[in-house]
Amino acid sequence: MLEAPVVSSPALPLAGRHIVLGLSGGVACYKAADFARELVKAGATVQVVMTDAACQFITPVTMQALTNRPVFTSQWDARESNHMPHINLTRGAHAVVVAPASADFIAKLAQGRADELLSLMCLARPRETVPLLVAPAMNREMWAHPATQRNVAQVKADGATVLGPAAGDQACGEIGDGRMLEAHELRDELTAFFQPKVLAGRSVLVTAGPTFEAIDPVRGITNHSSGKMGFAIARAAAEAGAQVTLVAGPVHLATPRGVRRIDVMSAEQMLAAVLPEAKRHEVFVATAAVADWRPASAATQKIKKDGSGQVPMLAFVENPDILATVARLPAGERPFCVGFAAESHDIVRHAREKLARKGVPLIVANNGPATFGRDDNALVLVDAAGERELPPGDKLSLARALVAEVALRVLPQRA
């Protein structure tokens, strides 16, 4: 019988997923408690399995309280009618995640040793249907040791996905690589893991946010763009397997995991950052709300009002058209271009005019004043064949839908 499809939403991105969470020994077990909580909040059901060493750092009672499920710690657990928890616990699971994964446990995985329940379960899981993800957590010297690096390489070669580690302060007082990722980072990594890899092997360049055109050292011209849509597209493209570069105007948003970020201020700086990158990427999504004009020259000192009631006259010049410039690159250097049109009225008409003027295959139109700064949006895809509305929703859902649409248009070009 076919398994029912998993239906999720950004509010519950792991709804319908059953995750087996394994804890091996390490002080990062305290993060595993937060991780379990994040998984439950994301809609997943969580079954915890702990090693004896893990129980020295956090109690099964805590993990049971967070997951509302009995915790398993022994292969001899008699609660299973067939006395085979190492077999039963992964049947029907969508993934096994070991967090923290100690150096010793990674060595067990690499060598196929199975002397306690968690390693037994990892070895006995159906590998074709139940993926294994491990989040290393250990001292920096242990992580850098050649034996650990060999074991990690072998675990990857055997099909496991390694999440992290991160660098930073460690419980021992040292600083370096080996920290387990934070709970929210692990949640996002797992969410991304389940996304279709429709852009695997592709490279995507995204611009996001406003630009800031200086009038003087204090003031400037900008707009209300928050950058949220562009950052969502960068995240969705990375989730889809692409290598992503994000050129961001002045915004206060966290960089999506796995995304390379370049920060700029003005339209000219954005163009200077985009042009060399565009030639190295296969897809360009111009989400940024770039200022159309800038002062012809910026004052070197703050312009002061003099009480006369007169407004200083400023001369303006047109900013470079970044999307059109990229769309005019030679065929061998030109990526597949997607433009955004943030309009205030006659949205489709202006988008269609922009499609022709820029010379790009796809324009994504929206009502700028209705969406700037918000977490939701409504998009209209405009191309030579017509228009198609994407149902209103949160920006990440729309970003994933747009990435899927772009993949359909780009993939045939590879053949």
Residue 415: per-residue pLDDT: 44
Question: Which token pair is 113?
Answer: 């040793």
| Whether the Cβ atoms of residue 204 and residue 282 lie closer than 8 Å to each other | yes
Domain 18-193 has CATH 3.40.630.10: no
Structure tokens at 53: 């060493």
Beta strands in 105-221 (DSSP E): 132-136, 161-162, 166-169, 175-179, 203-208, 213-214, 220-221
pLDDT at 413: 56
Q: How many helices (H) and strands (E) does the chain have?
A: 14, 19
- pLDDT > 90 in the chain, percent: 60
Query: Is the sign of the CA dihedral 344, 347, 352, 355 positive or negative?
Result: positive
User: Minimum mean pLDDT among 68-77, 133-142, 149-158, 343-352: which range?
Assistant: 343-352
Which pLDDT value is given to residue 177? Answer: 87
pLDDT at residue 372 is higher than 70: no
Nearest to 61 by CA among 74, 48, 79: 48
Task: Give every strand in the sheet of 336-343, ordered side by side.
Answer: 259-263, 243-248, 203-208, 283-286, 336-343, 362-367, 376-383, 386-394
Q: Is the predicted pLDDT of residue 124 greater than 60, yes or no?
A: yes
The predicted-structure confidence for 304-332, as pLDDT tens digits, reads as follows 877 777 777 788 888 999 999 999 999 88
CB distance 247 to 206 below 8 Å: yes
Tell me what pLDDT residue 221 has.
Answer: 86
- State the helix-helix crossing angle for 146-157 and 103-111, rounded to 10 degrees: 50
CA dihedral (55, 61, 67, 68) positive or negative: positive
> With bands split at pLDDT 50, 70 and 90, how would you rate the model's confidence at 406?
very high
Residues of the chain with CATH 3.40.50.10300: 203-296+314-414
CATH class of 203-296+314-414: alpha beta
pLDDT attached to residue 368 = 54
pLDDT top residue among 345 and 71: 71
Residue 68 pLDDT > 90:
yes
Share of the chain above pLDDT 70, in %: 93
Residues 44-48, mean pLDDT to the nearest whole number = 96
Picking from 28-32, 171-175, 182-186, 196-200, which range would have the lowest pLDDT averaged per residue? Answer: 171-175
CATH 3.40.50.1950 residue ranges in the chain? 18-193
Q: pLDDT band for position 383 (50/70/90)?
A: confident
The alpha carbon of residue 227 and the mean position of all alpha carbons in its chain are separated, in whole angstroms, by 15
- The one catalytic residue among 29, 55, 172, 337: 172
Count of C-beta atoms within a 10 Å radius of residue 318: 10
Q: Which pLDDT belongs to residue 358?
A: 83
84-98, 107-121, 221-235, 376-390: segment of lowest average pLDDT: 376-390
Total number of residues shown for the chain: 415
Which of 72-81, 193-202, 307-316 has the lowest average pLDDT?
A: 307-316
The residue ranking higher by pLDDT, 129 or 386, is: 129
DSSP secondary structure code for residue 255 in this structure: P
Short-list 87, 114, 97, CA closest to 38: 97
Mean pLDDT of 375-387: 79
Q: Quote the pLDDT of residue 12.
A: 84
172 in active site: yes
